Every structure is written in C-alpha cells, then in structure tokens.
Chains A and B, each alone.
Chain A
Amino acid sequence: MTLLAIDKLSVAYGDLFAVREVSFSIDEGIVFVLLGANGAGKTSILRSISGLTPARSGSVMAEGKSIVGFSPHEVARAGISHVPEGRRIFPNLTVEDNLIVSFIPARAPMPAAQALAAVYALFPRLAERRKQAGGTLSGGEQQMLAIGRAMMNFPKLLMLDEPSLGLSPVLADLVFERLAEIKRQGTTILLVEQNATCLELATRGVILANGHVVLAGDRHALQDSDFVRRAYLGV
C-alpha cells in the first residue's frame, strides 16, 4: 500500500525554485532514499511535506488523504515524523524531557513510560544520559536523541534529513544500523542523504539534482548510477 505519494511538488523561495515538479511514492514498509548533492532541494522537500515550508504547487498525500496545508503539528499527528537537518534537539530540556514532549497520547499504543523504555532499548546510550541537558550531548548522542524523539510519536513514516551529517563513519554506521532495526520493527523510512553509503539500507529511491528527479529506481539502479559512481570516485 502507498503510504506517501508526492505528485509534481514544487517549492520556491521567492523567484528561486528549489524543487521543480518532483514526484515519487513510498510503499509501506520500505526504506526510500532521496539522494542528492548540496542544494539539490532535499531539505525543501521534507520541509514542505511537514508543512514548515508551504509547497508552491503539487500534492502530498498520506494514506490517500491530502496533507497540503496542514500545520507541522498536524502532520506529526497524522503519523509523519521529521528528524530535521542538524538534529535540533531541545538544548535546555533533559534527554528524557526531549522525549516526553514528543509523546502524543492520542497516537500512542502504549503509555509514556513504555514508549520511553522502547526508545531506550533502541538507544541504550540515551538511558544513561536521561537526566542530562540535551545541549550537553555529543553529536552522535544528539542524533540518537533526535531519532528517539521522532520514535516517541510512533510514526508510520519516519523522515530523516542527513542523519549521518557530521558523524564519524563508525557513528554513522551505528545510526544506519539502528535505522535498519527501526525498519525491521515495521516503520517506513524516508531517508535524505548526500552520503551514498546509505544505499545499503535502501529499498528504492530517487536521485535529485537542482530540484529535479534525475533518476528513480530500486537500490541497484541507484548504486549503478553515474551520480553515485562519481561520488565514490570523488570526481
């Protein structure tokens, strides 16, 4: 079943079109990757799905219903969680409070304490740091917290904007490994990356350049693409 369908989505800042008529759809249970270089329009797409940056035109359907015009908190309450670029944890809230504020009783199949336990099981490191202010965490821990925070919403679709950015390769691997676990537990993932190593995790995806989709396909098609080869060769 299609969880999210984007059709001819355009996003513009003034006269500048950051995203032009991008279309793709995401089936339930998969990891969908949006791959592209700096400025390709990846963040703009996620922000317009979340309602932070209104789309100029096009449609966004979640489970067959349009979510265009929804406020960001309504999108979250419709089961779409967004882990923003740069993690953006709440620096003055403790780790636990970062998680608690993201818990929406009406959406959750379990009480807050159990939801917390589930996140701590996913990221044991966060349990050790539960009383610490978010702003004092290391970059890797902040990324775990940002993902854990999104999981407190029991999302149907988890969107992540460059979760490996600024992390060491070891930490980036750890994050991708946790995403694989989240997928195994049944959450659909929309992963935005510049880093092609994330393709190992991908079911399908698109490659974006200058706001256009230049290639759409399954993991192998993407791995064999010029974009990815060039990136690996560093040209």
Chain B
Amino acid sequence: MDDLQAALLLALQAILSGILVGGVYGVLSIGLSLAFGVMRIVNFAHGELVMYGMYAGVIASKSFGIDPLFILPVSFVVMALIGSAQYQLVFKHFVGHATLQQLLAAIGCALVLQMIAQIIFGADTRTATSFFSGQYVIFGPFFLSMPQIVAFAVAVVATLLVELLLHTTTWGKAVRAVADDMETAKLVGVNASFINIGAFALSAGLAGLAGSVLVTYFPTYPSVGFSLMPIIIIATTIGGLGSIGGTFLGGICCGIIQQMTAMLWNSALQDVPLYVLLMLFIAFRPTGFFGLRSE
C-alpha cells in the first residue's frame, strides 16, 4: 500500500516537473513551428538561435549582473534581427518547399553559428544566475524548482501573446493566410515577402527569448542548440507543425513523458520514449494532434 502511494506520488511529481519543463520545450518549439507553418521552412538552425539567447542570458548575468529574465525583450529583438538576416541570406530562396537542399542549408547555418559561438564564448559550459536560482517551492509532498516555475510562466505568457498576435491583429491574420495558401494570399493583396520576413523574425525572436529563459536553470555550451533540436522537432510533430497552441501542448507532452521516464525508470533513457512517440506519430498521425487543415 505504502509502496503504491509512494509510486503515485513520484508519478505526480514527475508530471508536475514535466509540465514545467515541457512548457519551456513548448516555447522553444513554437518558433520552428511558425516558420514551417508559414513558409514550409524547417530551420535546423533554430536551436542555435536558442543557444545565442542562452549566452545572452549568461552575459547579462555574469558581466552585467542583470537577471536574464530582464533581458528577454533584448534577446527577442536581437535574435529577430539575426533571424531576418538568416532569412534574407539563406531561407528566402527556399520559401514554399522544405527540400533536402533547404535542410542542408539550415544545417550549414547551424554549424556556422556554433563555430562563431565557440570562438566568442569558448567551448566551456556556462551558467547564468537569476534572482530565483536555487530556490524551491514545497507544495504539499511536491518539490518544484522556482526557476522552472518562472520559466513556465514566461513560456505560457509568450505563447498566449503569439496566439493573440496571430488571431486578432491584421498582420497575424495575413500571416495565417500565407500559411494556408501563399499564392492565394498574394492574389488578395498580401505582400507575402514582407509577411515572410516578419514571420521569420518572430520565429527567431522567440528562439532567443526561449533561450534566455531556459538558461536560468539549464547550462549552455556551443552545441546546446543542436542537442535541443530533437526535443523541439518531436514537440512540434506531436503538437502539429504550424499550430502554435498545439506545439506548446506538444512540448508539455514531451516534458511529462521525459520526466516520467527519468523518475520512474532511468534518467539516461529519458528521451527514448519520445523517439518512439515520434515514430508512432509519423506513422499514424503525421499532422500531430492539432495540425492545420489543408484545402
């Protein structure tokens, strides 16, 4: 009886932590989902944009003594600008078709961005400290990390803001029209190139913002972005490429499954069920839970 109760508590603890880290996986992923939904571009360098967001947090906290949470707008804007440059230089030519060349170009971008990070920041693992670092909340029998709670809250707010932007503003509606049918959006007077660059900047800005949140509890190193990509892609696939809310929930699913595996089975294998899930989704429900309607 006691054993059962202990196992149940552990499972609940895993679910709670899973929701918290999953929310951050969600916000890491929505930018990728947006760029795919609008332009059919799979930005394999999305993780690198996250990585720069993380280093921005490290610099803010270690060099200037500023909490990484306070520089979120800066990370957003800087990465949005870098993302626009990346779009103009590389992705503009691939809009509308996720080809093999597009994937290779993106991986090339990722490697270049990693190398630049290594030159600037070195290969060492770096951490940032936030106001909440090391704090915990004890909630009944559960034990939750304060930085993760705060990061989750930021993730929820960011996701809601993006949803609001896409659903209520004229610009957002134009973005969704381009996502549905770029050619027809042009026919009704939407300047699709202008929308695309904006959507890509938003996607990159979100990556930077997510990185600066993540670094409050997760250390960074030049290849951290690459190691985050599988989770980002799995979250996006489960939730539905192109659906922002769906992708966020996909992130939460990933977080829960990962934490359950780690706590109840083996933390070295925490990502294995995620890959199994990825394969199941690709086989049986490739549009994810909330994939967009196609014509």
Residues of chain A touching chain B, judged by Cβ–Cβ distance below 8 Å, are 50, 52, 71-73, 76-77, 81-82, 84, 86, 88-93, 97-98, 100-102, 104, 107, 133, 135, 149-150, 152-153
Contact check, A92 vs B185: say whether CB atoms are below 8 A apart: no
Contact check, A73 vs B192: say whether CB atoms are below 8 A apart: yes
Q: Which residues of B contact A135 (CB under 8 A)?
A: 293, 295
- Of B168-176, B211-219, B251-259, the one contacting chain A is B168-176
| Cβ < 8 Å to A, chain B residues 165-191 | 170, 173-174, 176-177, 179-181, 183-191
Q: Which residues of B contact A93 (CB under 8 A)?
A: 173, 176-177, 180
Q: Which residues of B contact A97 (CB under 8 A)?
A: 173, 176-177
Contact check, B292 vs A92: say whether CB atoms are below 8 A apart: yes
Contact check, B191 vs A91: say whether CB atoms are below 8 A apart: no
Contact check, B177 vs A101: say whether CB atoms are below 8 A apart: yes
Q: Which residues of A contact B180 (CB under 8 A)?
A: 90-93
Q: Which residues of B contact A92 (CB under 8 A)?
A: 176, 179-180, 292-293
New contact pairs (20) apart from A73-B186, A77-B189, A150-B188, CB-CB < 8 Å: A71-B186, A73-B187, A73-B192, A76-B186, A76-B187, A76-B188, A82-B187, A88-B184, A88-B295, A89-B184, A89-B295, A90-B180, A91-B293, A92-B176, A97-B173, A98-B177, A101-B174, A104-B189, A133-B293, A153-B189
Closest 7 CB pairs of A and B: A72-B186, A76-B189, A102-B188, A90-B180, A135-B293, A91-B293, A88-B184
B294 within 8 A of partner (CB) = yes
Q: Which residues of A contact B179 (CB under 8 A)?
A: 92
The CA of A52 and the CA of B184, in the complex, are separated in Å by 10
The CA of A76 and the CA of B183, in the complex, are separated in Å by 12
Q: A84-B184, A93-B176 are in contact. Are A101 and B295 (CB under 8 A)?
A: no
Q: Which residue on chain A has the smallest CB distance to residue B187?
A: A82
The CA of A95 and the CA of B43, in the complex, are separated in Å by 31
Q: Which residues of A contact B191 (CB under 8 A)?
A: 71, 73
The CA of A82 and the CA of B191, in the complex, are separated in Å by 15
Q: Which residues of B contact A149 (CB under 8 A)?
A: 188
Q: Which residue on chain A has the smallest CB distance to residue B37?
A: A92
Category for how many chain B residues contact A: 20 to 34
Q: Which residues of A contact B183 (CB under 8 A)?
A: 52, 72, 84, 88
The CA of A35 and the CA of B178, in the complex, are separated in Å by 31
| Cβ < 8 Å to A, chain B residues 263-277 | none
Q: B146 to nearest A CB, angstroms?
A: 38
Q: Which residue on chain A has the smallest CB distance to residue B193?
A: A71
The CA of A91 and the CA of B293, in the complex, are separated in Å by 6
The CA of A50 and the CA of B185, in the complex, are separated in Å by 12
Q: Which residues of B contact A150 (CB under 8 A)?
A: 188
Q: A115 to nearest B CB, angstroms?
A: 13
Q: From the candidates A73, A82, A88, name the one contacting B190 in the complex (CB within 8 A).
A: A73
Q: B75 to nearest A CB, angstroms?
A: 30
The CA of A153 and the CA of B170, in the complex, are separated in Å by 15
Contact check, B190 vs A101: say whether CB atoms are below 8 A apart: yes
The CA of A113 and the CA of B174, in the complex, are separated in Å by 17
The CA of A28 and the CA of B293, in the complex, are separated in Å by 39
The CA of A153 and the CA of B181, in the complex, are separated in Å by 18
Q: Which residue on chain A has the smallest CB distance to residue B243?
A: A92
Q: A117 to nearest B CB, angstroms?
A: 18
Contact check, A90 vs B186: say whether CB atoms are below 8 A apart: no
Q: A232 to nearest B CB, angstroms?
A: 33
Q: Which residues of A contact B176 (CB under 8 A)?
A: 90, 92-93, 97
Q: List 10 A-B contacts (CB under 8 A).
A: A71-B186, A81-B187, A88-B184, A89-B184, A90-B185, A91-B295, A92-B179, A92-B293, A100-B170, A102-B189
| Cβ < 8 Å to A, chain B residues 101-121 | none
Contact check, B177 vs A90: say whether CB atoms are below 8 A apart: yes
Contact check, B173 vs A50: say whether CB atoms are below 8 A apart: no
Q: A52-B183, A92-B176, A101-B177 are in contact. Are A153 and B188 (CB under 8 A)?
A: yes
The CA of A93 and the CA of B181, in the complex, are separated in Å by 11
| Cβ < 8 Å to A, chain B residues 84-143 | none
Q: Which residues of B contact A90 (CB under 8 A)?
A: 176-177, 180-181, 184-185
Q: Which residues of A contact B173 (CB under 8 A)?
A: 93, 97, 100-101
